[in-house]
Chains A and B, each alone.
Chain A
Amino acid sequence: MAFLDEIQRARSEKAPREKLGRMARWEARWGYAFIALWMVGFSLWYLIPMAASLVFSLFDFELTNLSAARFVGLGNWRRLLFEDPLVWQSLRVTFTFALISLPVGMVSAFFLAVLLNSKHLIAANLFRTLFYAPAMVPAVAGVLIWSGVLDPTTGWINRLIAFVFQVDVVGPNGIRWLADPVLVYIAYTLIGLWGIGNAILYNLASLQGVPTELYEAADIDGAGWWRKLTSITVPMVSPVIFYNLVLGVIALLQFFVTPYVLTGGSGFPQGQTYYYMIHFFKQAFGFLNMGYGATIAWFMFLIALGITVLLFGTAKYWVYYAAERR
């Protein structure tokens, strides 16, 4: 929603083309004066670097030895698409994780928001604050805390499972969350749950905006809790779900801190945490392959663009915008 709506709304607006009067010229000059800072910044930090990045992708060079730069044409692109198995492996890892972690995170955020919005909940504001608090824990500290809590011997997760289900999962034959090639996805998803604070609040704000008449009408029709949830709440909140989905996908393409803090970028176990962003970091800043690094980054941009366009294209089938906003 919000700024994403803005894009959709503005696309349909036509700017009036008229000759500017004296007052209008004065206003336009001041307008440009106020946004000048951004225009300079946009050119310096977005426009020029993006173009330069594309140019870089045609060269093979190291920063410390610019004179040895070599024009390789589409060589870097060929390497990326056909000769570097790590690109595809890291994309597989990234998308597998996204397919697990995004639905879990989004569904959890939605249901937590529904609970926190309940009129039956006592001390709702206190609960909202406390559920948001983990989002305030600095990322590196959060990952280190989780790495401790998931420890097979001393962590509390295994101890809790052992206590609740009365099974022997602590110690040498404990569940090795971060060392098992399948469980590691679950472990990273759990770690990601500490980052859903914003999504909870967006959902909550949207839930509070659902007109109560809708529920009253549904009550008269005899609709149950689940029916009201799926027929009223979810459609009304769908713009927020869409927004969280777009931002979530793009954030996951850049997923870095968790695997880097836990593994140093080694991909342990068995390359299952070798995310696309880790590959980029290693090539660009580990091996200082600036040309190839720029290629990897541009490819990431193209993927992000493709997914965003795709999601916007599907939006009209499942995202409900209340009538007055169309």
Chain B
Amino acid sequence: MAASATRPSAAPAAAASAPQRVDGMHARNAVVRAAITSLVLVILLLYLMPLGYSIATSLKSKEQVSDVNAPILPSAPERFEFEGETYDVYRVPTEEGEQRWALVTPGRNSSMFVDTQNPDAGLFEWEGRWRTLAPAYRLAFQWSNYQRAYEFIDFIRLLGFTLMYAGITTIAATASAAIVAYGFARFKFPFRNVLFIVLISTIILPPQVTLVPTYAFFFQLGWVGTWLPLIVPQFFSNAYNVFLLRQYFMTIPTSMEEAARIDGAGPIRTFVSVILPQAVPALIAVSLFHFFFAWNDFFGPLIYLAGNADINPLAVGLFRFNGLYSSEPQLIQAASILTMIIPLLIFFFAQRFFMQGIVLTGDK
């Protein structure tokens, strides 16, 4: 992208030395580029607008959130200190444009103001009803919302459980999927095709159809109310991850494996020291997918941890927080932002692997 963005040919068409026709094409290209890029930019701004709303709201005071006439950015009413007292500042229309004046002595039809730009000029009278004036605001960020949300939601505890769940199951899911994928990618055995179809069919199977008996099973084991029902099944590989890793393994040339085999390495050794090191990008992609899945998982923790709110992950904690503090939108938004920071940061740093992984599932 950098190369095309800085291409000198996009320079203004006014360059008289170039032949006319080429000149016109460059000009046209530049217009098309500007048009398409601005169109995409506008769509992007609309698409990300809710995020902007969330950030802005999370930094507002409760009063500002409920005031329809307040500015959309986090602000506080402007105040002005004059001779030891603080006064509200209003936006007063005058012949020289709008002025920011502090209201010192309100009156019915005329009031005493002081100019915030020039307080030394002292008090002066303004004819008009001060109640019709719009209050002046200045930008003010309520960072304390984040602190309150952090404390109310018990962020550290929820984060700990979320990280525990995401961490353990990411390792378990990736490792088990790699083992199974290697079996499907490199060994011939009877019914391999049938078994592989069965495996990938489970990707489109609605998980609810197995949920009730699975829940009953864990209930009989006494595991409902603990993390075990959410963690243990991840040790048995998951169809989506197996599929992705198998696709990747099949692109790795077999020559190194054959060499290792001639040197006397068994299949396990070959898998660990030849295949895995060559599959690092795919392993990272699968780990990221699973990590985000676990971070996001709501339904599983909701039903399995139902009676045990003390060990909830962030997703469920945020849901309960919303139920308790629905009258304080600024805290809800601050808490929402808190839960998304870590996945978004990881995404931005690891996006190369991530995007490649998605493309891999889409490729043949």
**Inter-chain contacts of B198 with A (CB < 8 A):** 42
Q: Which parts of B259-301 form the interface with A (CB within 8 Å)?
A: 267, 271, 292, 295-296, 298-299
CA distance A201 to B52 in the complex (A): 24
Chain A residues with CB under 8 Å of B319's CB are 140, 261
A50 to B219, CA, bound (A): 17
Segment among A78-86, A176-184, A289-297 that sits at the interface with chain B: A289-297
Known: A130-B44, A144-B322, A145-B53. Contact between A297 and B5, CB under 8 A? no
**Chain B 171-198 interface residues, beta-carbon cutoff 8 Å to A:** 176, 179-180, 182-184, 186-198
Convert B6-50 into 0s and 1s, putting 1 for each residue whose CB lies closer than 8 angstroms to a CB of A: 000000000000000000000001001100110110011001111
Chain A proximity of B181: nearest CB distance (Å): 8
Q: Nearest B residue to A277 by beta-carbon distance?
A: B208
CA distance A200 to B323 in the complex (A): 33
Smallest distance from the beta carbon of B351 to chain A beta carbons, Å?
6
A39 to B186, CA, bound (A): 17
State which of A146, A253, A257 has its C-beta within 8 Å of the C-beta of B206: A253
Contact of A31 among B188, B200, B211 (CB under 8 A): B188
Q: How many residues of A contact B (CB 8 A)?
A: 110
Over the window 39-67 of chain B, the binary record of Cβ atoms lying under 8 Å from chain A Cβ atoms (1 yes, 0 no) is: 11001100111111110010000000110
> Of the 9-residue stretches A116-124, A227-235, A266-274, which lies at the interface with chain B?
A116-124
Q: Verify B236–A141 contact, CB threshold 8 A.
A: no
Q: Using Cβ atoms and an 8 Å threshold, which residues of chain A touch B186? A: 31
Determine the chain A residues whose CB is within 8 A of the CB of B33 once the complex forms: 120-122
CB of A189 within 8 Å of the partner chain: no
Contact A148 B49 (CB under 8 A): no
* Residue ID in chain A nearest B243 by CB atoms: A3
Q: Determine chain B's interface SS by DSSP, over half rule.
A: helix
Minimum CB–CB distance for A118 against chain B, Å: 5
The one of A34, A155, A159, A201 that contacts B362, using a Cβ cutoff of 8 Å: A201
* CB within 8 Å of B: which A267-323 residues: 277, 280-281, 284-285, 290, 293-294, 297-298, 300-301, 304, 308
Task: Tell me if B37 and A133 are in contact (CB < 8 A).
Answer: no
> How far, in angstroms, from A48 to B292 measured CA to CA in the complex?
28
Does residue A223 face the partner (Cβ distance < 8 Å to B)? no
Distance, CA A280 to CA B210, complexed state (A): 13
Report which of B72, B183, B217, B348 forms a contact with A33, defined as CB distance below 8 A.
Answer: B183
Q: How far is the CA of A15 from the CA of B192 in the complex (A)?
A: 9
Interface residues of A in 2-44 (CB under 8 A from B): 2-3, 5-7, 10-11, 13, 15, 20, 24, 27-35, 37-42, 44
Given the interface contacts A6-B200, A49-B214, A115-B40, does A31 sit within 8 Å of B318 by beta carbon? Answer: no
Interface residues on B, range: 35 or more
- Interface flag for A325 (CB, 8 Å): yes
> Max chain B CB contacts within 10 Å: which of A5, A34, A298?
A34
A7 to B194, CA, bound (A): 10
Contacts A37-B236, A136-B292 given: A53-B212 contact, CB under 8 Å? yes
- Kindly supply a per-residue 1/0 record for chain A positions 124-138, scoring 1 wherever the CB is within 8 Å of any chain B CB and 0 otherwise: 111111111110111
Known: A27-B188, A140-B318, A257-B298. A290 touches B212 (CB 8 A): yes
B318 touches A50 (CB 8 A): no
B339 at the interface (CB under 8 A from A): yes
**Cβ B296 vs Cβ A24 within 8 A:** no
Whether the pair B188, A125 counts as a contact (CB closer than 8 A) is no
**A141 in contact with B184 (CB, 8 Å):** no
- Could you tell me the distance in whole angstroms from the C-beta of A136 to the nearest C-beta in chain B? 5
Q: In the complex, what distance in Å separates the CA atom of A15 from the CA atom of B189?
A: 10
Q: What is the CB-to-nearest-CB distance from A255 to chain B, in angstroms, rounded to a whole number?
A: 11
Known: A134-B47, A134-B48, A140-B318. A154 touches B68 (CB 8 A): yes
In angstroms, Cα B347 to Cα A250, docked, is 26
- Does A56 reach chain B (CB closer than 8 Å)? yes
Seen from chain A, the residues whose Cβ lies within 8 Å of a Cβ on chain B are 1-3, 5-7, 10-11, 13, 15, 20, 24, 27-35, 37-42, 44-46, 48-50, 52-53, 56, 63, 112, 115-116, 118-134, 136-141, 144-146, 148-149, 151, 153-156, 159-160, 170-171, 193-194, 198, 201-202, 205-206, 240, 243, 246-247, 250, 253-254, 256-257, 261, 264, 277, 280-281, 284-285, 290, 293-294, 297-298, 300-301, 304, 308, 325
- List 16 extra interface pairs beyond A2-B361, A6-B200, A132-B347, CB under 8 A: A33-B183, A37-B237, A49-B210, A56-B216, A63-B219, A115-B36, A116-B40, A120-B32, A121-B36, A145-B54, A148-B57, A149-B53, A154-B57, A154-B68, A170-B68, A325-B364
Interface CB pairs A-B, < 8 A, 29 = A3-B200, A15-B194, A29-B189, A34-B180, A37-B180, A37-B236, A38-B176, A38-B242, A45-B236, A49-B212, A49-B213, A56-B212, A122-B37, A124-B1, A129-B351, A132-B347, A136-B340, A137-B340, A138-B340, A139-B315, A144-B322, A145-B53, A145-B336, A154-B57, A250-B206, A264-B323, A277-B208, A284-B212, A294-B213
